Chains A and B, each alone.
Chain A
Amino acid sequence: MPAEAVASGLSASTWSAADPLVEVRRLTTWFPVRSGVLARTVGQVRAVDGVDLTIRQGETLGLVGESGCGKSTLGRSILRLIEPTSGEVRFKGQDMLRMGPAAMRRMRRDMAMIFQDPFGSLDPRQTVGDIVGEPLEIHHLARTRRQRQERVRELLDLVGLASSFVDRYPHEFSGGQRQRVGIARALAVDPTFIVCDEPVSALDVSIQAQIINLLERLQEKFNLTYLFIAHDLSVVKHISDRIAVMYVGKVVEVSSARELYQSPQHPYTGSLLSAIPIPDPTVERGRERILLKGDVASPVNPPSGCRFRTRCFKAQPRCAESEPPLDTVRLGDHLAACYFPLG
């Protein structure tokens, strides 16, 4: 066994369910910024800039952050829908980024994604039955046409849609129903791991609860592992076991959902929490607000040292000199990248 594998304790042959399902190390995904007639690269959008994460089997890891933080890019990089620039993504011990296309296609049987836009994530030219059945076709999971149809009906039933919907087209349904179709499609391959990219943000408030409950029920039933990406921390806190907070391409804090709310360490987390409105006038009006100045930093040219320092109310000269690593603060499983945490 190669020395490297021994050191990390992880390799495809020794992986067991007790080990993390997904391990991300030093993942970066940069997008070139091109300019001029010859489309020369003048800079890089550092969408994901060195991220370490672990996701354990059966848990829901929430990923929050505001626009430009890279959470969506991170989710897609982990599934290799976007090619990462460097780093490592291990799924069940196997290094996904070094796999060839055939092996990758096999891996895709074990993982799936649910998308944000219930309108755009379904091919308008396919029936619901085709959409949900396509994964079965791609991976040859049903031997006969009847088997396939039965499985499709089963899946629709799991997500709460009538089987009579198989011949209808996406545009005939509401946003919530389309999102259910997307979930049924993701379940078709019987995956272990599902990346949920803002699955409820585009839905009406009264429908969001339905979909959130559905996702939780399915998780329990099939022992699914979720990476739940959203900008709404209230939703993320409700559904997640642990939460990772991202800011401009980096994870700045990771902890259990409860601890994140009760004792946030990173000033950004603190301001994020204080900015979220709580639907209770007495609570809401009595809260202490941390109001940040300025706008979110740019991923093309992030500030030196700690990226958050330009908006941070606790910033000191040290913050500009060097970038605090994620384990600067380590309280058990609770990590935060800050030299002057909230404490």
Chain B
Amino acid sequence: MSTAPALIATQAPIRQTRIHLLELGRTHPRVILAGSLVLLLFLVALLAPFISPHDPIAVNADNAYLPPLSPSHLLGTDELGRDLFSRVLWGARVSLPVAFVAVAVGLVAGGVIGLISGYFGGVFDLLLMRLIDALLAFPALILAIAIVAALGPDLRNAMIAIGIVAIPVYARLVRALVLQLKQMEFIAATRSLGATPMRIILRHLIPNLLNPVIVQVSLSAGFAILAEATLSFLGLGAQVPTPDWGQMINTGATFLANDPWLAIVPGAAISVTVFSFNLLGDSLRDALDPRLRS
């Protein structure tokens, strides 16, 4: 007798996304909170050009090193007199797309690898998993640095590098889920009807993978933001003059003694962003976990 893994088998289906979200919000307010935070971040990134009080790259030597809460500079200015608040807002326009693209790369590439590995098994599984193991052998950040260094330091390559680093997580997750699902009777039932592997993968496996993968996406986004900031801090990501949080910390580090806000402000931005994504991931995981539901 098959024992259906609790993670998948007892999931209630997403009937219509709208209704599902409302239900979710009522029973798990943390999801709404986290979701709102993330949504806010995206809006900030989108609307930065319109809501920034100043031009983020406008240099104004006379206004340098102004502390936070100075008139017309909410968070102060940096060593070149640029408004920190505007730079933080514009920085979101770098970090969030990077997170988005990197996670997408990891999800799609890793997901496909995991699907093939898990469903077809055999030699595919053997080879693909060794490839994944090779990627995992390197500490994530070091691997990303190495890739960017090889491809040349710029934002696009940073996205690619972080994406590649994210692949193993998704490959392993999807493979594990597929292996679990494969054993379930409804998959055997669909095969007995004469369904092709493609149909089984598209119609039956993928819909049942959504919940755990969604949780992972939220968490990966947090990691990606951090990774991008690190790369830029090291000068391997966004280049001058693009406002970027990691870069801002890099320059701000030298002034930590006298004008700490130059580094603290972008650091706080990173923290808040990563926290929001992590909160979303955690609360989604709790909300979607069928065992905790009843």
Contacts and interface: CB of A to CB of B under 8 A. Distances in A.
Note whether A and B contact each other (Cβ less than 8 A): yes
B193 A112 contact: yes
B26 to A, nearest CB: 19
B208 A139 contact: no
Interface in B181-202: 184-186, 188-196, 199
B192 A113 contact: yes
B10 interface: yes
A115 B189 contact: yes
A81 B188 contact: yes
Given A169-B12, A169-B15, A171-B12, A120 B193 contact: no
A185 B1 CA distance: 20
**Chain A interface main SS type:** loop
Contacts of B194: 104-106, 108-109, 135, 138-139
B4 interface: yes
Interface string A111-127: 11101110111111110
Contact of A120 (B13, B15, B185, B204): B185
Interface string A86-120: 00000000000000000011101101110111011
B288 to A, nearest CB: 13
Contacts of B4: 117, 119-120
Contacts of B203: 134
B9 interface: yes
Contact of A115 (B185, B199, B207, B208): B185
Interface residues of A, number: 32
A120 B186 contact: yes
A185 B188 CA distance: 13
Given A116-B1, A117-B1, A117-B2, A125 B190 contact: no
B9 A124 contact: yes
Nearest to A168: B15
B185 to A, nearest CB: 4
B193 A189 contact: yes
A319 interface: no
B190 A123 contact: yes
Contacts of B13: 124-126, 169, 171
A182 interface: yes
B271 interface: no
A119 B6 CA distance: 12
Contacts of B193: 108, 112, 134-135, 138, 185, 189
A21 interface: no
Given A119-B4, A123-B204, A124-B13, A134 B188 contact: no
Nearest to B4: A120
Interface in B164-183: none
Contacts of A139: 194
Interface string B1-34: 1101000111111110000000000000000000
A109 B192 CA distance: 9
Contact of A113 (B10, B184, B189): B189
Interface of B: 1-2, 4, 8-15, 184-186, 188-196, 199, 203-204, 207-208
27 contacts: A76-B188, A79-B192, A81-B191, A104-B194, A106-B194, A108-B193, A111-B192, A112-B192, A112-B193, A116-B185, A117-B1, A117-B4, A117-B185, A120-B4, A120-B186, A121-B186, A123-B186, A123-B208, A124-B9, A124-B12, A124-B186, A124-B208, A126-B13, A138-B193, A138-B199, A139-B194, A171-B12
